[in-house]
Structure 1
Amino acid sequence: MMISLEYIYRYPIKGFPGERLEDARLNLAEGIVGDRKIGVGSGAMAVNQSGEWTPCQAFQRMTIRPDLTTFQVDRHDHILTLTAPSGRSETIDADTKQVEAGNPTVGDQLPVYRANGNKGYWDHPDAALSIINLSTVDAISQVIGQTIDPLRFRANIYIRAKPWSEFQWLGSQLSLGEAELDVIRPIDRCKTTSVNVKTGVADLNMPALLVRHFGHLYCGVYASVKKSGTIVPGASVKITGKSEDRIIEAAANAITAPALPDWPRPMRVSRTVEEATDIRSIWLEDPLAKTGSLSNFKAGQYIRIHNLAQTHTWRSYTVSAVDGSRLRITVKRDAGVGSQAMHSFNVGDNLTVSGPFGEATLSGKSKAHHFLTAGIGITPTVAKLRYLYAQGFVGKVRVTHVARTASELALWDDVVDAAKRLSGSSLELHLTKNVGDTVGAKLGRPDPSKLAEYAKSDKADVHICGPTTFVNSVMAALGSIDFDEEKIFLDTFSSPSVETEMRPIPASEPIRVTLQKSDITENWTPADGTLLDFAEARGVVISSNCRAGLCKSCSCKILSGSATRLVGEEGNDRRQTLVCSSIPSESIILEV
């Protein structure tokens, strides 16, 4: 499919509607002249008085003021006329360098600032240009069953290409007419995209919808200008080569950039291994490994593979090994779309992958580790055993694995090899259908109650992974002997069926909320929204991505009091809460 440039937009005032351009001049290391040149202060954070880049929290923006999209911005030469929905207008000189005391059209005592030079108040200091693929927006519309206006994504350049193919451009050079760009980073989406640009109302949770249906909260890519030139709608877009490593490294290390493993990025299938009947391992080459995407890998983590088949299905797979810039996943074939797709890929194919994700579940301070697995649930055990050896673990390690037959036994040799290196290890293999000539295997299933007793006797951390029936039987046995829940680790991860809809905020009297590190104590009311909304409206910057209680990036420690969850299982949090999807249930002190 040919890639074409459809239209170009510039946003003279950050957070307000843009203007469609017939052409645009792109200058080296700069964006479109005049883009986000002006910002209206929010009062939540100080703005750099010299005109240098300042974080978005310092300005009026649609995450806090969704009605900004209903304002009108008209240009006559360098004079902008900003008109409110009420009809009130104010003129702004786009060329002056002075800070104006206030803009009554938006709100009294809100100063108007201007960025220095030809750089604007972009969302990130290096995000000169944003690119949106209109076919991707069409795919989103089709999946969620609602037509999405591409202008929700506030891009500079709108192109038409194969849906989601823009993530494959990461680290590539593009030519657009006379200009050349480096694609530096995928765009993580915030609450702004939830706003209907015509009504100024947040009528859906776009980040949550992206996570649920596509497995990530990214849409579009950022680019920097490599070669100056003029661009016009209708121009063809071509991939001309690879960007220099230093450019991607700088983009990854930008202070506001999302964590590198989170980026949806191309990975090439470098090897496939048929491990057992209908079980296949796939080795993937990560182009960002040399930039650090795998540097903090923790045994037991998983990746997500996106855009599987025409339905854009995504699935999560445990990483069973990491070797330099490559990682391995092991997949069992079943009737599912994702599984079928994973068994159809060949060496050389490019997949869109994000991760690794997941919390650390191994501690060198534990007295013992018991691994209780069944079927394809063996995959995290391989990585965990290798990690324990690398850490010099000398305590007891017990592996109990269940499979049907030897022909369905995947990665067992890897487990045996890894366990041999651990002095305190023991292995027990159960085959439920036929032992055959498998050395050391026992016929039948293990007794869950005995497994629980062994774990309690060894004071072990217990790692469980396998089919639901297996996991439930082990958990029931552990529960029957009051086993310490904090020593149980289930290798689970989110799936497309995960709940993302937020329950309504109930009526409430004002509740006292203290943000300790930020030295803020004020009353919260239902009109303030979530605890994240409450904090952001007061200038507090909290890492947040999905805003749907999934990614856990906004997790905050509760020092006293409790918070009510609005997503997922109903109940209150007393130790830690996801502020994007919780509200105070009583007077609360958060560590942030």
Structure 2
Amino acid sequence: MRVEHIYRYPVKGLTAEALAETHLDPGETVPGDRRFALAHGDAPFDEAAPEWLQKRHFACLMVNAPIAALHASWDERKGVLLVHAPGAPPFAGDTTTDRGRAAIAAALAAFLGAEARGTPRFVVADGHSFSDHRNKVVSLINLASLADLERAMGRSLDPLRFRANVYFSGVPAWTEFDWVGRRIELGGATLTVTKRIPRCAATQVNPVTAERDCDPVAALRDAFGHVDLGVYGRVEAGGRVAVGDAIVLRDVED
């Protein structure tokens, strides 16, 4: 098995960032993944005491398909988020200051218009990830499983509809579901595969057109009897992971 792509998503719901390599730490996700989010005005998120909340409290593709039309890039070294909205000049905001985050929130809220609830906040909290999963995990998708879904639907699907961290090749479709409860060597890191990933309406959104143009969840249910694509892994031992690295499934007794 081989790592084909690695991604992180610095802002929940916004643009994927392709990585040639990364370093995973025990109990953590990909560094910088879902580090920021746009919290709706009625979201009970406390940056001083962060706790996991369901995605509906934040701007997300499941509810807010138009945000797929935004192109965002985060300069981690400078702390600057650059956002391009269709037909508008680019906007740059400082993610490291209250004033900068307030400006980013205002710009994103203006783009969302009526879909923004109350007065949104652009939020960040040290050590917190705005993942759909309650715990810090790495998401992995078998490209053969994606190809089987494409076959069932009779159309191609951009892998980024599914917003995984790692896309891999080298095993038959759906084999990864048998890994739950087992460990894998992912490059230089060791992960325990914890669960399958159930999919939601976010996958309806085409990441290029920002339109809801198909329903992968219904297709999964109709063709395969479930709504899952991909698996989550908890990092047990840290290490470097790069595109081209091997993935090795440990024996059950290991």
Q: TM-score, normalised by structure 1?
A: 0.39
Residue 121 of structure 2 aligns with which residue?
111
Q: How many residues matched?
A: 241
Higher RCO, 1 vs 2 (CA within 8 Å, ≥6 residues apart): 2
Q: Which structure is higher in strand share?
A: 1
Is 1:93 aligned with 2:94? yes
1-structure distance, mates of 2:202, 2:7: 17
Q: Secondary structure at the match of 2:109?
A: coil
Distance 1:231 1:45, change over 3 A: same
Alpha-carbon distance, 1:210 to partner: 0.6
Distance 1:138 1:121, change over 3 A: same
Alpha-carbon distance, 1:99 to partner: 8.8
Is 1:66 aligned with 2:65? yes
Alpha-carbon distance, 1:242 to partner: 4.5
Residue 231 of structure 2 aligns with which residue?
221
CA contact (8 A) 2:66 2:210 kept: yes
The residue type paired with residue 64 of structure 2 is: R
- Pairs within 5 Å for 1:521-536: none
Residue 84 of structure 1 aligns with which residue?
85
2-structure distance, mates of 1:92, 1:157: 28
Residue 116 of structure 2 aligns with which residue?
none
Residue 114 of structure 2 aligns with which residue?
none
Alpha-carbon distance, 1:206 to partner: 1.5
Residue 290 of structure 1 aligns with which residue?
none
Q: Structure 2: 5+ residue runs without aligned partners? A: 111-118
Residue 167 of structure 2 aligns with which residue?
158
Distance 1:146 1:167, change over 3 A: same
1-structure distance, mates of 2:130, 2:186: 24
Question: Could you list the per-position Cα deviations for residues 229-288 of structure 1 after superposition, in whole angstroms to 9, with x for gaps in the alignment?
Answer: 1100001100124599xxxxxxxxxxxxxxxxxxxxxxxxxxxxxxxxxxxxxxxxxxxx
Alpha-carbon distance, 1:44 to partner: 4.2
Residue 300 of structure 1 aligns with which residue?
none
2-structure distance, mates of 1:27, 1:4: 20
Question: Could you list the per-position Cα deviations for residues 474-526 of structure 1 after superposition, in whole angstroms to 9, with x for gaps in the alignment?
Answer: xxxxxxxxxxxxxxxxxxxxxxxxxxxxxxxxxxxxxxxxxxxxxxxxxxxxx
Distance 1:243 1:125, change over 3 A: farther
Q: Secondary structure at the match of 1:207?
A: helix
Question: Could you list the per-position Cα deviations for residues 84-132 of structure 1 after superposition, in whole angstroms to 9, with x for gaps in the alignment?
Answer: 1232433343455889335233214321000322x41110221421111
Match of 1:19 among 17, 20, 33: 17
Larger Rg: 1
Alpha-carbon distance, 1:65 to partner: 1.0
Is 1:121 aligned with 2:130? yes
CA contact (8 A) 1:52 1:116 kept: no
Q: Structure 1: 5+ residue runs without aligned partners? A: 245-592
- Pairs within 5 Å for 1:352-371: none
Q: Secondary structure at the match of 1:82?
A: strand
Q: Secondary structure at the match of 1:91?
A: strand
The residue type paired with residue 107 of structure 2 is: T
The residue type paired with residue 81 of structure 1 is: L
Is 1:198 aligned with 2:199? no
Match of 1:212 among 215, 222, 226: 222
Question: Could you list the per-position Cα deviations for residues 121-150 of structure 1 after superposition, in whole angstroms to 9, with x for gaps in the alignment?
Answer: 110221421111111111111111011111
Residue 39 of structure 2 aligns with which residue?
41
Residue 375 of structure 1 aligns with which residue?
none
Distance 1:226 1:87, change over 3 A: same
CA contact (8 A) 1:56 1:123 kept: yes
2-structure distance, mates of 1:58, 1:223: 24
Q: Secondary structure at the match of 2:41?
A: coil
Distance 1:98 1:240, change over 3 A: farther
- Pairs within 5 Å for 1:375-454: none
Q: Secondary structure at the match of 1:30?
A: coil
- Pairs within 5 Å for 1:316-355: none
CA contact (8 A) 2:161 2:204 kept: yes
Distance 1:54 1:115, change over 3 A: farther
Distance 1:58 1:188, change over 3 A: same
1-structure distance, mates of 2:148, 2:168: 14
Is 1:172 aligned with 2:182? yes
2-structure distance, mates of 1:211, 1:189: 10
Residue 408 of structure 1 aligns with which residue?
none
